[in-house]
């Protein structure tokens, strides 16, 4: 029995570095596609150091979702600019058969957990919910972010209509949590 392996080459065009080819089995695996898209968006973001890639997701229907963020947030207008640039590159790469794909570029949103150290840093001072790997939840204000830990300030105490009865009944607990212990951290919306 003979097996034939066909390699196809997808081209990624980068204005600064020229055209680059990388081999992949056809059709490309989702993991390979994600890596290629991460490389493309990395090149697009190279000139805008204030913005960064959080995650790329691809659904089996070739719906590509790219989550970007910035040190001071990211505007819809910036997402549109990056969407157009990435869409063009995806079309040119022929990564998806018959260019049958859809592309969404957006910020992660409040329902997406923090994934990167840089996201933790930009959210210092905001209320968070941290779910630890052992199932314990910690809610409070993200005070500090260090190389291997975060500090969350939890405030406990009686309140009437959202106001604390007295400062004596209010208890402030500082939780120092190792990143290794954290399963997920989400920003809590305040209304």
162: alpha, beta or left? (left if phi > 0; alpha if psi -120 to 50): left
Tens digits of per-residue pLDDT, 50-89? Answer: 999 999 999 999 999 999 999 999 999 999 999 999 999 9
Residue in the structure block whose two tokens are 């229907």: 61
7-106 to CATH, choices 2.60.40, 3.30.300, 3.40.50, 3.30.365: 3.30.300
23 and 36 Cβ atoms separated by less than 8 Å: no
The answer, yes or no, to whether residue 1 has pLDDT greater than 70, is no
Phi, psi of 16 (to 5 degrees): -80, -35
Domain limits of the chain? Answer: 7-106, 117-187
The alpha-helical segments, DSSP class H, found in the chain are 30-45, 76-93, 117-122
CA distance 14 to 93: 11
Phi, psi of 33 (to 5 degrees): -65, -45
Quote the pLDDT of residue 109.
87
Query: What CATH class is the domain 117-187?
Result: mainly beta
CA distance 54 to 118: 9
Label residue 139 by pLDDT band (50, 70, 90): very high
Quote the pLDDT of residue 167.
54
Average confidence score pLDDT of the chain: 85
The separation between the first and the last C-alpha atoms of the chain, rounded to the nearest angstrom, is: 66
CATH fold match for the domains 7-106 and 117-187? no
Quote the pLDDT of residue 158.
62
Quote the pLDDT of residue 59.
94
| 6 compared with 152, residue with greater pLDDT | 152
């Amino acid at each position: 029995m003979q097996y034939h392996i066909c390699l196809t080459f997808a081209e990624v065009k980068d204005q600064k570095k020229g055209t680059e080819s990388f081999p992949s089995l056809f059709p490309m695996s989702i993991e390979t596609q994600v890596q290629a898209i991460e490389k493309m968006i990395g090149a697009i973001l190279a000139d805008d150091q204030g913005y960064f890639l959080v995650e790329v997701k691809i659904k089996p229907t070739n719906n590509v979702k790219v989550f970007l963020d910035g040190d001071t947030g990211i505007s819809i207008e910036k997402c549109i600019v990056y969407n157009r640039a990435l869409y063009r590159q995806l079309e040119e790469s022929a990564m998806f058969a018959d260019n049958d794909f859809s592309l969404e570029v957006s910020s992660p949103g409040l329902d997406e957990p923090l994934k990167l150290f840089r996201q933790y840093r930009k959210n210092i001072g905001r209320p968070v919910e941290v779910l630890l790997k052992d199932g314990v939840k910690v809610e409070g204000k993200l005070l500090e972010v260090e190389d291997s830990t975060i500090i969350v300030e939890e405030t406990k105490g009686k309140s009437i209509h959202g106001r604390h009865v007295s400062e004596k009944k209010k208890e402030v607990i500082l939780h120092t949590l190792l990143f290794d212990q954290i399963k997920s951290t989400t920003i809590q919306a305040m209304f």
